[in-house]
Amino acid sequence: FIAGLGAFTALFAAVIAVTQRRFKAVLAYSTISQLGYMMMAVGVGAFSASMFHLMTHAFFKAMLFLCAGAVMHALHDETDITKMGGLYQKMPLTFAAMVIGVLAIAGIPPLSGFFSKDEILAAVMHASTPLYVMATVTSFLTAFYMARLLILAFLGENRSEHEAHEVDARMWLPMMALALLTIGSGLWGYFGGFSQWVHAGVPHQEAIDWTVAGTSTALALLAFAAAYQIYGRHSFRASMERKRFGLAYRIVYNKFYIDELYAHIRTRFVYGTAVVLRWIDEKIFDGTMYGLGGYALATSDLLTESANGQAQRYVVVFYTGVLILLCYALYWAVQVLAYWGGGAGR
């Protein structure tokens, strides 16, 4: 169940990332997809592979988000990648870091993502063929949407209204440091025995499964070619995707309308239920409490009238009560005598 949920998450988020236009939105859904990869590995028992991918992903995804921040800074907070283009000339260091990150997350050797993703794919292949197919398709989509992001933002013609510039050293130095970790962490993890170092279960892959690695690498290169064919060969226009892919594009671009469905449920069900519960709380529970309080106040007013401190009234009330009790006792005494007298006569 955990492996299936992870595989679905990885594939579902990757499909959504293919159509997103905001720079950080693509990376955010990519992160969700990669987390699905990690949970899929956990589900098939490949704990060390999951931890390995968690480490390598941390390096290249952090670098990619820093690249996004650098681009937004250079373009006055512009986030729409369809309004970018040609940044490789103006931002060469950011472009270099971006290329390294894209190649790493796509699983191109010898970058870190190649080694960690290979361990997951190999473990999943030996556990479940359907899950392996889903993971492989996700791998292809990952390479495709990251290549799309790179092409639209950094290659082609400039579609921005602002003049871009490279960021200063305070921004590109962290990117370069993460780029070095992206390049070296996979090699270190593979040859340095990452699974023994973290003690996260028994390692599933002592050596690279070249069937799996070769297939995923070939699919990544094919995805790069497809992205270039669609977005790189011709002058890109924002309406091109909508016209080419039609209804399917609109559904995926709107994230399968999950946000709208959630808003509808929240408005109609959650808020409606809250109104009903508020009425119950105010009219029934609060009303009951207020009624009991009013009853206590009314009773106290009545008792206050009788307890006014006049000794004469207390004596009258006392002897009236005594008289009532005596009359009651006399009544029962007469009844008892009549009962016994009648029995004695018979």
* Per-chain mean pLDDT for the chain: 87
Taking residues 233-242, what's their average pLDDT?
65
- Check whether residue 41 and residue 187 sit in a common domain: yes
Same domain flag for 315 and 213? no
**Mean per-residue pLDDT for 125-132?**
93
Domain co-membership, 180 together with 263: no
Residue 31 pLDDT: 96
pLDDT number for residue 298: 83
How far does CA 299 lie from the centroid of its chain? 57
Categorize the per-residue pLDDT at 308 as very low, low, confident or very high, splitting at 50, 70 and 90.
low
pLDDT classification of 303: cutoffs 50, 70, 90: confident
DSSP 8-state assignment for residue 255: G
So what's the pLDDT on residue 93?
A: 93
Q: Are residues 265 and 249 in the same domain?
A: no
Query: Regarding predicted confidence, which is higher, 245 or 286?
Result: 286
Question: Which tokens hold the place of 48?
Answer: 């060390």
* 197 and 117, same domain (yes or no): yes
Residues 339 and 267 in one domain: no
pLDDT band at 246 (very low <50, low <70, confident <90, very high): confident
84 near 75, Cβ under 8 Å?
yes
**Which of helix, strand or coil describes residue 233?**
coil
Domain containing 56 equals: 2-253
Residues 87 and 228 in one domain: yes
- Count: domains in the chain: 3
More confident residue, 282 or 28: 28
Across 136-154, average pLDDT: 94
The candidate with the shortest Cα–Cα distance to 112, out of 33, 63, 59, 65, is 59
Q: pLDDT band at residue 71, thresholds of 50, 70 and 90?
A: very high
State whether 79 and 140 are in the same domain.
yes
pLDDT mean over 290-296: 87
The CA distance from 140 to 217, in Å, is 9
Give the separation between CA 336 and CA 324, rounded to whole angstroms. Answer: 19
Q: Are residues 138 and 275 in the same domain?
A: no
* 298 or 105, higher pLDDT: 105
Residue at 341: amino acid letter: G
Residue range 6-35: mean pLDDT, rounded: 94
Residue 249 has pLDDT above 90, yes or no: no
The neighbouring-strand residues paired with 80 are 22
Are 42 and 50 spatial neighbours (Cβ–Cβ below 8 Å)? yes
3-state helix, strand, coil in the chain (%, to 5): 80, 0, 20
Contact criterion met (CB below 8 Å) for 136 and 219: yes
Residue that terminates a domain, selected from 213, 237, 253? 253
Q: Is the pTM of this model over 0.85?
A: no
**241 confidence band (pLDDT: 50, 70, 90):** low
Cα 38 to Cα 116: distance, rounded to the nearest angstrom: 10
Q: Looking up tokens 């519960």, which residue turns up?
A: 277
| Confidence at residue 261, expressed as pLDDT on a 0 to 100 scale | 87
Separation in Å, CA 73 to CA 25, 78, 214, 269: 16, 8, 38, 41
pLDDT bin (cut points 50, 70, 90) of residue 16 is very high
Please tell me whether residues 283 and 214 are part of one structural domain. no
How far is 173 from 278, CA to CA, in rounded Å?
A: 55
The pLDDT value recorded for residue 239 is 62
Q: Tell me, what's the pLDDT at 203?
A: 55
The mean per-residue pLDDT over the stretch 180-199 comes to 80
Residues 80/86/88/89 CA torsion (nearest 10 deg)? -140
- Which of residues 253, 288, 320 is at a domain's end? 253
More confident of the two residues 138 and 268? 138
Which residue type sits at 105? I
Verify that 18 and 165 share a domain, yes or no: yes
Please check whether residues 301 and 314 belong to one and the same domain.
no
